[in-house]
Amino acid sequence: MCAQPALKEEQLQSQQGDFQGLLLSTNGDGVRLFPGEEQFTSAVHGVSDIELIDAVSEQTTRSVVIEGALVISTRFVDVKIPMVSRAELSTDDTLTINFSDHLNVLTLQIVGDTGIMNINFQYTEKPLEAALSSARFFEALATTPGNLVFEAYEVGEEGKPIPHRIEVGELPLSVPETKLQEYRDRLRILEGFYDIFVNTGVEIRYPANTEDEESLDNLNFVLKAIRGGWVPLSTTGFNTHIPAADVRALLDEPRDEGEVRRAFIFELQNESYQLFGEEVALGPSSRYVAAARLATTQEEMEAWLQTGPENGDTLELKWEPIDDAPMHVFFDEWPKSSIQSVDRELREFEAIYGISSEHFEQGWREGASWARGVSDGKRWFSLILAREELVQGS
C-alpha cells in the first residue's frame, strides 16, 4: 500500500474497541425497520361465489378445513405457498373463508361476497425461512397480474391425487404505494437476514424492537462485508495505544505543518457484530486509513510521561482523518470487491456529475468548493481510494 506524500505508514495490531469512535456509515440508503406485524384490507377483484361453500355441510358443523396451497397463477409461472383453508357458514349463511399457513405468519380472510380481503401478517420472531417465504408471496400478491387460486387435492380412483382449483380473485391486490414500500423494506430486511443465515449459519428473526438503530446499521455493515468483502466507512476518529518510548519518539518527530501525520493499517483477528440479539462473526480483517493527523496534544503526551509510566503501560492517542479520508475495511474470509465493480460505480458518478474521477479527486484534495458541494462526494472519493487499494492488492 502506498501512503500519501509526507505520511509514514504504520501497521498495527488492534482491538475492535479501538474503533468505537468511528462514525459508521449509517443506514443511509438502507432499509427502514417497520413493525413486523400489521393488518389491513384490500380489494380483490373478480371474487365470486367461491366453490368452498359446496363443501360446507349443514349437517355437521357448518365449517370445513382443507389443506392445500394458495397459487398466484400467471401466463408464465405459478407461485405457490402451502395454506390451510377454513370455510365457515354463519347462521345467516354468510360465508367466511380464512387462508393461513401453519405458523400463522400470513393470513387472508374473505367475508361474504364483499370483494374485500382482510390481510394479516406476523413476521416478528417467526422462523426466518417461513417469514421470508410469506413476505415474498405477499409482494407477488401485490405486484403480479394474474389470478389467485386455492389448490387442493382429493384422492381419486386407485389412490391418485386429483388437483382441485378454486378461483379466489384477480390480482394484483389493491395496496397503496406507501404500504407497498413498507412491505418491500420488510422483505429486504428478511432477505438480508437470509443471506447472513446462508453464509454464517446465524439465524436472525424479524425483531420486535423496531428502534434498534445500532443493529440496523450493523446489519448493513455485515451485509456489505459478506457480499463484497469490503466496507468503506466515514470516520470522525480512532485510537491507538503506544508505549512510552514511542510517545517520546513522536515528541521528537519533526512536524509537517505543525502536525504529526500517518497512514495506518490495522490488523484485527476477528470482527463480530450484534444484530438484534445475535452475534455474527466476520473473521479477520484489515483496516486502512490513507491519511490521519494526531489529535492528542504535545502537552497531553508530556504530562503522561511525567507520571512515570511503567513497562507495559500505554497511552491512548487520538487520530483524526485528513481531508475526510475514509477507513477501508477488507475482510479476509469474504469475496473481494472486483476492480470492475468499483469501476462501474465510478463511471456512474462520472455520468451523473459530468466530470472525470481524476478531475473530481484533484478538486476534492484541493478543497475546491465545487467538489466539496457534490452530495455523493465522500462516497466518490472513498471509491477512488478503494480502487487504488484493489489495484495494488491484485
172 in a structural domain: yes
End-to-end CA distance of the chain: 11
pLDDT at 5: 40
- DSSP notation for 183-222: HHHHHHHHHHHHHHHHHH----PPPS-TT-HHHHHHHHHH
Residue 231 and residue 258 in one domain: yes
How many distinct structural domains can be found in the chain? 2
CA 183, 203, 334, 136 dihedral sign is negative
Which residue type sits at 300? E
User: Angle at the Cα of 118 (from 115 to 123), degrees rounded to 5?
Assistant: 150
Domain-located, residue 51: yes
Strand spans (E) along 218-277: 230-233, 238-243, 261-275
Say yes or no: 157 and 255 in one domain.
no
Co-location of 163 and 60 in the same domain: yes
pLDDT of residue 23: 55
Residues 184 and 235 in one domain: no
According to the model, what pLDDT value does residue 57 have? 47
| Domain housing 181 | 37-189
Last residue of a domain, one of 336, 352, 377: 336
Find, among 112, 141, 136, 129, the residue nearest to 47 by Cα. Answer: 112
Q: Give 14's DSSP letter.
A: -
User: Which three three-digit cell numbers place residue 197?
Assistant: 443465515
pLDDT score for 222: 93
234 belongs to a structural domain: yes
Question: Do 185 and 65 fall within a single domain?
Answer: yes
Residue 386 located in a structural domain: no
Distances (CA, A) of 118 to 23, 88, 121: 43, 16, 10
DSSP class of 103:
T
125 in any annotated domain: yes
| Domain termination site, one of 336, 364, 383 | 336
Domain check: are 98 and 180 in the same one? Answer: yes
Spatial contact of 274 and 207, defined as CB atoms under 8 Å apart? no
Judge if 105 and 140 occupy the same domain: yes
Q: Is 143 inside a domain boundary?
A: yes
Q: Does 171 share its domain with 281?
A: no
- If we measure between CA atoms, which residue out of 251, 23, 64, 250 comes closest to residue 166? 64
Residue 269 C-alpha cell reads as 483477528
Cβ-contact 125, 205 below 8 angstroms: yes
Q: Please, what are the averages of pLDDT over each run of 10 residues along the chain (394 residues)?
A: 52 74 59 88 71 52 84 90 88 85 94 86 96 95 92 77 83 90 93 95 96 89 88 86 92 80 88 95 89 92 94 92 84 76 83 91 90 84 77 62
Question: Residue 277: which residues within 8 A CB-CB, separation 6 or more?
Answer: 207
Q: Is 281 helix (H, G, I), strand (E, B) or coil?
A: strand
Q: Provide the grid cell at 184.
A: 418491500
Question: Are residues 221 and 180 located together in one domain of the fold?
Answer: no
Q: Is 171 inside any structural domain?
A: yes
Q: Looking at the structure, do residues 68 and 160 belong to the same domain, yes or no?
A: yes
Q: At CA 271, angle to CA 267 and CA 276, rounded to 5?
A: 160
Q: Which pLDDT belongs to residue 337?
A: 64
Same-domain check for residues 84 and 22: no
Query: Is residue 65 domain-shared with residue 176, that is, in the same domain?
Result: yes
155 located within any domain: yes
Q: Helix, strand, or coil here: 51?
A: helix
Q: What is the pLDDT of residue 256?
A: 66
Residue 297, class by beta-carbon neighbours within 10 Å (0-12 exposed, 13-18 middle, 19+ buried)? exposed
Q: Choose one of 138, 173, 189: the last residue of a domain.
A: 189
Q: Which residues make beta-bridge pairs with 72?
A: 79, 148
